Amino acid sequence: MKHRIELFLCVLIGLLLYGLNGCTQSVPVETSGERIVSLSPGITATIVDIGQGKNVVGRSAFCTAVDARIPVVGDLYSVDYERLLRLRPTKVFVQKTAGEIDSHLLKLAEEGDFSLHAWKCDRVGEIAAMHDELLQLLSVKGAPMRITLQETGIPLPETILIMTPGSDGKAGLCFGRQTYLDDLLDMMGGINAIKSSGWISLSIEDIARLSPSVIVVISDTQFALSKGILSLDIPIISFIHPDVLIPSSRITEVAIALQHKIRAQ
């Protein structure tokens, strides 16, 4: 009997220690001053770039610019409000979309739980505005975000189509007018093959009818071109950059690399 009691106590102590360790891992990061929750990977990356990553206590699952141990609070479409409030944020940052900002986030901000800030990040000018406003909000001394591309004298293809990799014979998502990659094309002196605005899903047949001079397939990781894209008699440029799909202050690095890649072909 004594042996069983000792075994039970050892197991209980082990469970308690495991539980305490688990609680320790979930305790919000202690910061001096601001406590930031960012639900946008682009905004989070920009916060890190201006030196305020240490103050991020909550994030979305897509915010990879900060430590993966920082608690995931939610994203644009779903928020764990209980976890959010436990983190005691001073500021919550979200990205504006075509839809409305989460009504419960607005209510919590109105009740004084935190200040809520939202930005559109569809275009280069909007990304720059977000960066510059973050400098002011977080009292950071820094230069305004500017993109300067050098003229190389090397002509660009006549029309350019930018898209994500496709799969199963299908085309990926294409970047139309009034998107941040379209803005970069314009800065380079290039012309987008797509005339309509926003992010557009085109079929292989649609792309064939557009007949761009070149297709630039972008990704943040290595990829294989779809059979559908390869079947087109159009030159293809593969462009891989870790930040090309995230509208953040790192778009300046993307712009320089993209210009070099396109002009090098």
Residues 239 and 186 both lie in one domain? yes
Assess if residue 165 is contained within a domain.
Answer: yes
CATH number at residue 260: 3.40.50.1980
Could you say which of 137, 168, 198 is where a domain stops? 137
CB 41 within 8 A of CB 246: yes
Domain around 173: 160-264
109 and 170 both lie in a single domain: no
Residues 180 and 130 reside in one and the same domain: no
What is the value of pTM for the model shown?
A: 0.84
- My answer on whether 168 and 125 are in the same domain is no
Partners of 59 in the β-ladder: 72
Q: In this predicted structure, what is the pLDDT of residue 99?
A: 75
Residue 122 lies inside a defined structural domain of this protein: yes
Q: What does 123-141 look like in DSSP terms, one character per residue?
A: SHHHHHHHHHHHHHHTT--
Task: Tell whether 121 is covered by a domain.
Answer: yes
Q: Which SS3 state, helix, strand or coil, does residue 77 take? A: coil
Both 166 and 122 in one domain: the answer is no
Q: Per the domain annotation, does 69 fall within a domain?
A: yes
Asked if residue 24 belongs to a domain, the reply is no
Residue 186 to residue 195: CA distance in whole angstroms: 13
Q: Are residues 117 and 84 in the same domain?
A: yes
Kindly state whether residues 105 and 175 are assigned to the same domain.
no
What is the predicted pLDDT for the residue at 76?
A: 79
Do 186 and 117 share a structural domain? no
Number of domains forming the structure of the chain:
2
Rounded CA-CA distance 57/91 in Å is 10
Give the model confidence (pLDDT) of 94-149 as tens digits: 999 877 888 999 999 999 999 999 999 999 999 999 999 999 999 999 999 999 88
Residues 119 and 202 in one domain: no
Whose tokens are 């989460």? That residue is: 102
Nearest to 214 by CA among 170, 179, 249, 163: 163
Residue 16 is assigned to a structural domain of this protein: no
> Which residue ranges in the chain fall short of pLDDT 70?
1-32, 168-169
- Final residue belonging to a domain, choices 103, 137, 171: 137
Same domain, 53 and 132: yes
| Domain assignment present for 185 | yes
Q: Looking at the structure, tell me whether residues 133 and 167 fall in a common domain.
A: no
Q: Is residue 8 part of a domain?
A: no
Last residue of a domain, one of 106, 137, 168: 137
Asked if residue 165 and residue 133 are part of one domain, the reply reads no
